[in-house]
Amino acid sequence: MMLARGVLLRRTVARGVARPAWAAREVRSLGASSSTTAFEPPPRAPGPLMRLLGPDTAVASPGFTNRWAMMVPAFTTHLCLGGPGFGWSVLSSAIVREHGFVCSAATDWTLFDVTMPMPIFFTFLGLAGAAFGKWQNAVGPRMAIGAGGLLFGGGMCVGALGIATHNLPLLYFGFGVLGGSGTGLCYTPPMQALMLWFPDKKGLAMGCLVAGFGAGGLAFVPAMTQLMTAFQRVPTYLGPVGAVETSTHAGALLARSADGAELVAAVQATSADLAKISGDLATGLYVVGSGTTGAAQALAIAGVVYAAMLSTCALAICRPRAGWLPAGYTPPASAVDLPSLSVDQVMRTPQFYQLGVTFSCLTCGIYGIFSVAKGMMSEVFSGALPLLVTSGFTSGYLMMLSLANLSGRFGMATLSDRIGCKNTYNAIIATLIPIYFTAPLLVQQARARARAPRAVDAAIVVARCAAPAPRASRAALLLGRSAPPSSFLPFAKCGAIMA
């Protein structure tokens, strides 16, 4: 082939015909005794995908100077990524009773089973971020976020299929492997872009960005709660416990069906079980598998919405052009003199592994609690304060955790611009150590005080006074008269915290 092209070139030159474009890029072969000439093929034109998401398209035009506009797609990207991570327990508390609906049936997954997607999710988040770090820099933020968004949203849809078919490995693979890998691809590109747009306010920029990750639960928890309520189907009610013929076979409860023709698998719902779920249901026996919590449908819809939002953010985000600096900003001499290390060089420094161990220890405790936060809150406090710690209260607790995480991310990052990253980091560690050691003691004291008669009476009064009734009725309650109970959440939460 190369010889034929060489003959063709010599003929065109001899005839006085202009060389073709590929012949202009002639390269001599390295053989010392060979006179064969090799030619480079013409470069391929970029395909439609590269023209849309390639690295060249992710560079801002010379006339674009509004760097704050880049905060919107970056923040939205992290808002999408943080939702399932901080709000997973609102789904796990429903998935654990997918068959029984009112409580867990013998065929339902255990609490351990439904919390495992979270560690798998964050494991593959880290693995994907490390494995594809160089690829992200090569293809640019748009391609990385676009590919990660499809993996993230598609993984949630695959996980929803696993819930609907009661296939645990499919749930792990979809939500854990695919969803975590998609998060790893999408997490760092917005950071890299904002670091270039805000060289003078790196702490503020990173604080706003990672605050979006912490704020994800504020949108995910109420959205999942509403979607599950819309798609849930109440199971068939057989009747009170004493009015239905029951028997036990292989550890499973069987009850006579409503028409009396056959025995069906059933679960017994107590008042404590019904207090953990929303809806007005009666205590007694319910047919297993006749209802659904709506978790699969809610997760699938969330996957489609998140994939669409991340794809939109991928098209909107871009980096500044080379050499761009904010107006009036001059890089300090210390920043100019610092050496620039490659990824391979950084991985050979001891600081890289020290930070890795530190963040591993932090995330083990934090995200382990987030995966069971709703169920943990219900189990710890529902017995002491059953009128306050309802399903709505525990969902509000998840949102409060997300809000606290958002505040810490933004506040500490902003503080680092004033006192330095190292001083801020040391302050965080010094604050966390006593909190971790005193948290179990605080929980025990809260439970003990909640069981006290005065605390319980105060909680009942707070819950009832919060009823959406006229002021005269609330005044009558304070005087000791009767009124319908309510679970108005803001007052109820204040009462629980005071107790």
pLDDT in tens, 200-221: 888 888 888 888 887 888 888 8
Question: For 482-485, which contacts have Cβ atoms below 8 Å and span 24 or more sequence positions?
Answer: 485/387, 485/460
**Per-residue confidence (pLDDT) for residue 475, from 0 to 100:** 34
**Per-residue confidence (pLDDT) for residue 76, from 0 to 100:** 94
d(CA 115, CA 118): 6
Mean pLDDT, rounded, for 187-210: 88
The rounded percent of the chain whose pLDDT value lies above 70 is 74
Nearest alpha carbon to residue 66 among 326, 251, 323, 348: 326
**Predicted TM-score (pTM) of this structure:** 0.72
Greater confidence (397 vs 197) lies with: 197
Greater confidence (163 vs 41) lies with: 163
Mean pLDDT, rounded, for 278-307: 91
Residue 177 sits at the vertex; the CA angle it makes with 176 and 183, to the nearest 5 degrees, is 85
Greater confidence (372 vs 77) lies with: 77
pLDDT in tens, 237-256: 988 888 888 888 877 888 88
pLDDT band with cut points at 50, 70 and 90 for residue 339: low
Do the Cβ atoms of 388 and 459 come closer than 8 Å?
yes
Tell me the DSSP string of 439-487: HHHHHHHHHHHHHSHHHHHHHHHHHHHTSS--HHHHHHHHTT-------
CA dihedral angle for residue 484, residue 489, residue 491, residue 493, rounded to 10 degrees:
130
* Tokens matching residue 148: 């990660």
User: Is the pLDDT confidence value at 444 over 90?
Assistant: no
pLDDT in tens, 16-63: 444 444 444 444 444 444 444 455 666 676 777 777 888 888 888 888
Query: Looking at 136-140, 241-245, 403-407, which range is the least confident one?
Result: 403-407
- The terminus-to-terminus CA distance of the chain in angstroms comes to 86
Query: Looking at 34-48, 376-390, 425-439, which range is the least confident one?
Result: 34-48
**Per-residue confidence (pLDDT) for residue 365, from 0 to 100:** 66
**Per-residue confidence (pLDDT) for residue 173, from 0 to 100:** 96
Residue 364 sits at the vertex; the CA angle it makes with 153 and 88, to the nearest 5 degrees, is 35
Do the Cβ atoms of 130 and 124 come closer than 8 Å?
no
Beta strands in 312-388 (DSSP E): none
User: 409: number of CA atoms within 13 Å, CB side?
Assistant: 21
**Per-residue confidence (pLDDT) for residue 79, from 0 to 100:** 92
Residues in the chain: 499
Query: Looking at 182-191, 286-295, 335-344, 363-372, which range is the least confident one?
Result: 335-344
Do the Cβ atoms of 198 and 329 come closer than 8 Å?
no
Query: Looking at 21-35, 84-98, 139-153, which range is the least confident one?
Result: 21-35
Mean pLDDT, rounded, for 435-452: 74
Greater confidence (404 vs 109) lies with: 109
User: Is the pLDDT confidence value at 360 over 50?
Assistant: yes
**Per-residue confidence (pLDDT) for residue 99, from 0 to 100:** 92
Among positive and negative, which fits the CA dihedral 190, 191, 195, 201? positive
User: Is the pLDDT confidence value at 8 over 60?
Assistant: no
d(CA 319, CA 59): 5
Burial (CB count <10 Å: 0-12, 13-18, 19+), residue 488: middle
**Per-residue confidence (pLDDT) for residue 388, from 0 to 100:** 66
Greater confidence (491 vs 403) lies with: 403
